[in-house]
């Protein structure tokens, strides 16, 4: 990341005086970050020009976009340490403005996926269009395969043993044991790439010999993928009414999208 200009020394020292009771005085790695109160944020804002706040918001937005390009979640600790820095006393305001920018400019939603560790991802807020885009996207085949995996997991109640997924892929002529023409190392893509991106969870089943894992939906899938749409597709595939899968139908239609984790609430993802 580039070196950003710090605010003038007089300003930062007055800020430090105010933030002294919130954070450690030295710019340490393991600064314990306490959320500033509304009045503290208000006081902090009064000491800064609108241009300064806008600039800092823009830096936060850029940081997120770079991380999100690789589908890596952003940790609040890293965000504060590397970008927010001396503006940490108005952190909630900056994050609020960044979220507004993501929504209004990019059609993205800032979602908190881990309330304990304070991690964020950007999720697509635009509705899935009926017609396909005229632009060929390189990620499309991977998404197709991922969707197949997510469908299997969802239809089977939310958790499946890994063998079921490997067998499903084999049926789709994507053998995890062989190097695939399009996907390369299939096993790595599914158990590493999709997991790091938070599309899937790949968890070891205890007391299994040889070691076995199970797959679940990841937090990004929860936020981005519509269970209702999966059920709809299943209905078309099997020429059945989606309602015939009563359990899945209930799950797909019980949660309105707004109840998914957002920046203000700290709800954990529903299963």
* Choice from 34, 49, 58, 167 touching another protein (CB under 8 A): 58
User: Do the Cβ atoms of 63 and 1 come closer than 8 Å?
Assistant: yes
Residue 205 touches another protein, criterion: CB under 8 A: no
Asked whether position 5 contacts another protein by CB under 8 A, the answer is no
Query: Residue 131 or residue 173: which is nearer to another protein going by CB?
Result: 131
Report, in Å, the least distance between residue 13 CB and another protein.
28
Nearest approach, Cβ of 137 to another protein (angstroms)? 6
Shortest reach from residue 204's CB to another protein, in Å = 32
Contact stretch for another protein (CB under 8 A) within 104-112, 155-163, 228-236, 243-251? 104-112
Please state the three-class secondary structure of 20-62 as a single string: CCCCCCCCCCCCCCCCCCHHHHHHHHHCCCHHHHHHHHHHHHH
Piece of the chain touching another protein by CB under 8 A; list 83-91, 103-111, 206-214, 257-265? 103-111
Contacting residues for 95 by C-beta, under 8 A, at least 6 apart? 60, 110, 263
Q: Give the nearest distance from C-beta 50 to another protein in angstroms.
A: 12
Task: Tell me which H or E stretch contains 188.
Answer: helix 186-188
Complex with another protein: residue 95 or 169, whichever CB lies closer: 95
Which residue, 5 or 207, is less far from another protein as judged by CB? 5
**Tokens standing for residue 257:** 């999208």
CB-nearer residue toward another protein: 54 or 193: 54
DSSP assignments along 214-263, one per residue: EEEE-HHHHHHS-HHHHHHHHHHHHT--GGGSHHHHHHHHHS-GGGS--S
116-145 residues near another protein, rule: CB under 8 A: 124, 126, 129-139
Are 16 and 8 spatial neighbours (Cβ–Cβ below 8 Å)? Answer: no
- Residue 97: phi, psi to the nearest 5? -70, -35
- Enumerate the β-bridge partners of residue 156: none
Closest approach, Cβ 63 to another protein, in A, equals 10
How far is 47 from 230, CA to CA, in rounded Å? Answer: 50
Binding residues among 21-50 for another protein as defined by CB under 8 A: none
Axis crossing angle, helix 50-69 with helix 91-101, rounded to the nearest 10: 60
Q: What is the 3-state secondary structure (H, E, C) of 70-95?
A: CCCCEEHHHHHHHHHHHHHHHHHHHH
> Which CB, 1 or 32, lies closer to another protein?
1
Shortest distance (Å) from residue 254 CB to another protein: 27
Give how many residues touch another protein by CB under 8 A: 29
Distance, CA of 254 to CA of 198 (rounded, Å)? 23
Residues in 158-177 at the binding interface with another protein, rule: CB under 8 A: none
| Residue ranges in contact with another protein by CB under 8 A | 1-2, 54, 57-58, 61-62, 65-66, 69, 101, 104-108, 124, 126, 129-139
């Amino acid at each position: 990341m580039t070196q950003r200009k710090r605010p003038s020394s007089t300003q930062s020292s007055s800020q430090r005086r105010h933030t002294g009771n919130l954070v450690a005085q030295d710019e340490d790695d393991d600064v314990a970050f306490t959320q500033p109160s509304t009045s503290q944020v208000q006081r902090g804002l009064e000491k800064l020009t609108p241009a300064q706040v806008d600039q800092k918001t823009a830096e936060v937005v850029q940081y997120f976009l770079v991380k999100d390009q690789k589908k890596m979640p952003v940790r609040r600790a890293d965000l504060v340490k590397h970008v927010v820095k001396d503006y940490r006393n108005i952190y909630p305001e900056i994050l609020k403005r960044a979220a507004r920018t993501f929504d209004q400019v990019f059609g993205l939603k800032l979602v908190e996926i881990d309330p304990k560790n304070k991690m964020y991802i950007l999720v697509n807020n635009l509705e899935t269009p009926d017609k396909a885009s005229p632009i060929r996207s390189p990620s499309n085949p991977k998404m197709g395969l991922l969707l197949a995996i997510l469908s299997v997991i969802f239809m089977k109640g939310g958790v499946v043993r890994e063998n079921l997924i490997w067998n499903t892929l084999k049926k789709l002529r994507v053998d995890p044991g062989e190097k695939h023409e399009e996907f390369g190392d299939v096993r790595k893509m599914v158990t590493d790439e999709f997991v790091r991106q938070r599309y899937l969870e790949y968890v070891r089943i205890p007391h299994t010999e040889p070691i076995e894992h199970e797959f679940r939906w990841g937090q990004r899938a929860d936020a981005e993928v519509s269970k209702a749409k999966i059920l709809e597709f299943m209905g078309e595939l099997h020429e059945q009414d989606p309602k015939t899968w009563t359990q899945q139908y209930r799950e797909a239609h019980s949660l309105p999208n707004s109840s998914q984790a957002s920046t203000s609430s700290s709800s954990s993802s529903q299963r």
